[in-house]
Structure 1
Amino acid sequence: MNLRRLMFDMMLAWENPGSEEGLLKNNSTLCNTVEIEDEDEGSIFYANSTSLAVQVNDMKTVGLSAFTRIAPSCPIIADLVTVHNLFDALTCSSGGRLHYFVYDKYLKSLDRVFRSIKGVMQSSLASSFNLDAGECILAIDGDKPIHPVLQHIGISAWPGTLILTTHALYFQSIRVGYGDKIVKYDLATDSNQVIKRDFTGPLGVRLFDKAVMYKSSTLTEPIYFDFPELGSPSRRNYWLAITREVMQVNRFIRKFNLEDIQRAEALSKAVLGILRYSAVKEAFHIAPSHFKTTLTFSLAEKLPKGDMVLEALYNNYFQLLDTSLSHLATEPAVDKAPQTHSVPFSLYALSRMGFNLLNRKNETEKEISFCAVCVGVTKSLEAALQESFLYSERIEAARATVDQVKVEGLDANVALMQVC
């Protein structure tokens, strides 16, 4: 029995304790169907409707409670802050029940995303950017002629390769007479930064809604990154979402003065969130946004009372890590054995996958050991999330009310004030 099947069986057991009827069988017809579906990389939501109906009828499913309790135990699969939204994304076409073939397809997509990013990190292209120690590449675009990225400054525009890391945006322009110049836009230290969707066009004319605008206190004028494509601006929206997540996690780091292990853990949470977001997008062609996003720090920023979520995350998780590390630092080594670095949940998971986010050039996997998270530290975080989600539901209801009464000429503020 593989880990994917084991975790799903654990979810089934959570919903039906003591029952073995729901456990999946190794020789089920469903597994063969899933493998065939994955061979052509087709989306499960576009499978033959008759075949899909047969699979659903023959399949045990799990609900929200089981998924939110079991899935976050593996930080690669889910995060406590966004697990509800991840479940909604995976069950948007199945009436709020998670089928194994959807869960399995998500995990296989996640594995492909990890392998792809790891391949980029080990490529010659990555080495040409001279990344800092602990800096991890999250996305790359414009490296293929069929999917160009254009950088607009004033009325000038030129193609190039765009890379997002945990620290910055890099643009390697392709300009005649200039060589392959690389420009870095720091996302980690500058607090006066803005990134948003915008229009671009030839000679500075605002025609196409396919770009993101970035400006900071270190730039004399805004920079526009254009993602030309037919149809909806899905590439632009993806880059806008993941770049905002990097900005938000670095704001969180600056706000609470996180350093070393704490800082690496915060970045690890953001990295895993971005990779999960990419996996859902690639597997199911959906990219949840606003209150439904699966990006941890972006969700906390968008939710009402999201500051309470971040406070709870810091007070009941990152401060605990600081206490644990201080305690370990004061303990003498036993028999003068070399001390290992005690690292938290997400950072450990990434290190096992071959990613190193610590600011140490010679850090090896053997030097990293797992620091268990104490049971019960998530209670106040769950309480803060529950209150925040409650307010977000009330705001959504208020917005629906506003849309309904607009034709009657009522003031929108009346409905919105009811959530206060």
Structure 2
Amino acid sequence: MMLAWEAPDHKTEAEVVQRTAFYGGDGTDDDDGGSIFYSSPTQMAIQVDGRRTVGPEAFAKIAPACPAVAHPITVRNLFDALTNSTGGRLHFLIYHKYLKSLDNVLRSARRISSGHKAPELDLLDGEVVLDIFGAATTQPVLQHIGTSTWPGRLTLTNHALYFEAIGVDFSYGDAVVYDLARDLKQCVKRESTGPWGAHLFDKAVMYKSSSISEPVFFEFPQFKGHSRRDYWFAIIKEVLHAHKFIRRYKLANFQKAEALSVATLGILRYRTVKEGFHILPAYFKTTLAFNLAEKLPKGDKILEALHGELKQHCSRFRGGDDLAAQSGSDELTLADPFPLSAHTLVRMGLLTLKEEYNPEERDFAAGDVQIGGTSSVQMALERSVGYSGRVEAARATLDQVKVEDIDTNVAVLKVLTKIIYLPVVVYNDANISK
């Protein structure tokens, strides 16, 4: 389908082949005797058949039709992550690698939800385990509270964080629950930590809320770098932002389930990119929908458009507008089209809803797939991304300039005032007294 969208006729196909001909090469060895079989798997995939590739437009239009594969808010960032080393063209073998990695992540999540290797936690209805880290004998998470440190296992669900301390017999104690769903003035930050409260290792996530007396630090030991900490920081923030979105628009029932399902599938895709391609997209390139909306300028418009589409999904009836007007917008009957992301999790066995829900008796509308049009979410996203370019330019300016004296300070101020379009008034000696 992506190839068909990329080249719907022979004329367009010829242009695409000409535009991407430089990818393939002739498949022969280099002059220095090196073999293509010693190149990276990505380069191998390109050399197989460089003509059968797709660009961002085709991927962004088709991929979100399957909610497990992509979401409209982050689909272009996902494309950039997958084509990071292929010049902005997606080869089928790379896409197949992504699907295979995604399948492995979904199978792992399904095994945990079914009780296989799952922590003994008292989960709520609709609570899905997103990831677990901290084996008792190899790489436990270190929890720091004040000057005290405990090794243990950390579990993240779409509602809370659970920490289970490891005992002397390598068994897990009762879980301490850190609720991410309620409005508890919660704060999550990257932090440095170490023994006796020393700030030595930049590998921790700090969590604090009004329900605990002092901040809690979760340290993720890693020999080199802090990618493991950055991953956990991002997915914890995604859960917090999802519940902030739910509280803001007072979502309930199936609307709430759909919002959490969007976050759940986004985290599983984020985990797929990390494990399959060893990439952690950050800043404006993240593949987490709620994190991206919170970071982008005018991101509130994206969330507003998402809420509008969610209301439209959950209020559309097969019987027409009269039936929709007679019922509440948050309540669904068996005749309603079911929200796409929540429907996906139910069919995968990751989410269990009320007993009256039967996926075989319900039909759902693929309203996110619009042919020849642009959804309100996509329009809001495009406007927000346009503003983000100015913000990135400002950040790059600040990163590159060294502030050494007052002349440099003045230069920085001049650049910033041009970027944010603020008028500048300069007073000379003649009018300074005025």
TM-score by length of 2: 0.81
Q: How does 1:180-329 map to 2 (within 5 A)?
A: 180-315=173-308, 317-324=309-316
Structure with the largest fraction of helix: 1
Instruction: String of CA shifts for 1:21-70, please: whole Å, max 9, x gaps.
Output: 799xxxxxxxxxxxxxxxxxxxx99726874553254x411111111111
* TM superposition shift of 1:211: 0.7
Q: Which residue of 2 aligns with 1:370?
A: 364
8 Å CA contact retained: 1:158, 1:175: no
8 Å CA contact retained: 2:238, 2:291: yes
Q: Which residue of 2 aligns with 1:415?
A: 415
For residues 225 and 322 of structure 2, the distance between their equivalents in structure 1, rounded to whole angstroms, comes to 53
Are positions 1:171 and 2:163 aligned together?
Answer: yes
8 Å CA contact retained: 1:267, 1:357: no
Q: Unpaired runs of 5+ in structure 1?
A: 1-9, 24-43, 333-337
Q: Which residue of 1 aligns with 2:40?
A: 47
Q: Aligned in 2, Cα 1:138/1:47: closer, same or farther, shift over 3 Å? A: same
* TM superposition shift of 1:344: 0.8
Are positions 1:120 and 2:112 aligned together?
Answer: yes
Q: Which residue of 2 aligns with 1:30?
A: none
* TM superposition shift of 1:104: 0.7
* TM superposition shift of 1:367: 5.8
* TM superposition shift of 1:371: 3.8
Q: Aligned in 2, Cα 1:252/1:327: closer, same or farther, shift over 3 Å? A: farther
For residues 399 and 216 of structure 2, the distance between their equivalents in structure 1, rounded to whole angstroms, comes to 35
Are positions 1:60 and 2:52 aligned together?
Answer: yes
Specify which of 343, 348, 351 is matched with residue 348 of structure 1: 343
Q: Aligned in 2, Cα 1:78/1:52: closer, same or farther, shift over 3 Å? A: closer
Q: Unpaired runs of 5+ in structure 2?
A: 17-36, 328-332, 422-434
When structure 1 is superposed on structure 2, of 397-406 and 387-396 the one drifting more is 397-406
Q: Which residue of 2 aligns with 1:18?
A: 9
For residues 151 and 318 of structure 1, the distance between their equivalents in structure 2, rounded to whole angstroms, comes to 38
8 Å CA contact retained: 2:111, 2:117: no
Q: Aligned in 2, Cα 1:21/1:189: closer, same or farther, shift over 3 Å? A: same
Q: Which residue of 2 aligns with 1:27?
A: none
Q: Which residue of 2 aligns with 1:109?
A: 101
Q: How does 1:69-108 map to 2 (within 5 A)?
A: 69-108=61-100
> Which residue identity is paired with 1:216?
S
* TM superposition shift of 1:179: 6.4
8 Å CA contact retained: 2:109, 2:350: no
* TM superposition shift of 1:366: 4.0
* TM superposition shift of 1:88: 0.6
For residues 82 and 121 of structure 1, the distance between their equivalents in structure 2, rounded to whole angstroms, comes to 26
Q: How many residues align?
A: 383
For residues 349 and 124 of structure 1, the distance between their equivalents in structure 2, rounded to whole angstroms, comes to 21
**Identical-pair percentage:** 49
TM-score by length of 1: 0.83
For residues 375 and 238 of structure 1, the distance between their equivalents in structure 2, rounded to whole angstroms, comes to 30
Q: Which residue of 2 aligns with 1:7?
A: none
For residues 45 and 93 of structure 1, the distance between their equivalents in structure 2, rounded to whole angstroms, comes to 17
* TM superposition shift of 1:302: 0.3
Specify which of 380, 390, 393 is matched with residue 376 of structure 2: 380
Instruction: String of CA shifts for 1:161-202, please: whole Å, max 9, x gaps.
Output: 110001000011123599612111000012400011111111
> Which residue identity is paired with 1:370?
F
8 Å CA contact retained: 1:109, 1:279: yes
8 Å CA contact retained: 2:193, 2:217: yes
> Which residue identity is paired with 1:146?
T
SS at match of 2:265: helix
> Which residue identity is paired with 2:215?
P
* TM superposition shift of 1:124: 5.4
For residues 60 and 118 of structure 2, the distance between their equivalents in structure 1, rounded to whole angstroms, comes to 36
* TM superposition shift of 1:11: 1.1
For residues 193 and 49 of structure 1, the distance between their equivalents in structure 2, rounded to whole angstroms, comes to 41
For residues 299 and 413 of structure 2, the distance between their equivalents in structure 1, rounded to whole angstroms, comes to 21
User: What is the RMSD computed on CA atoms of the aligned residues?
Assistant: 2.9
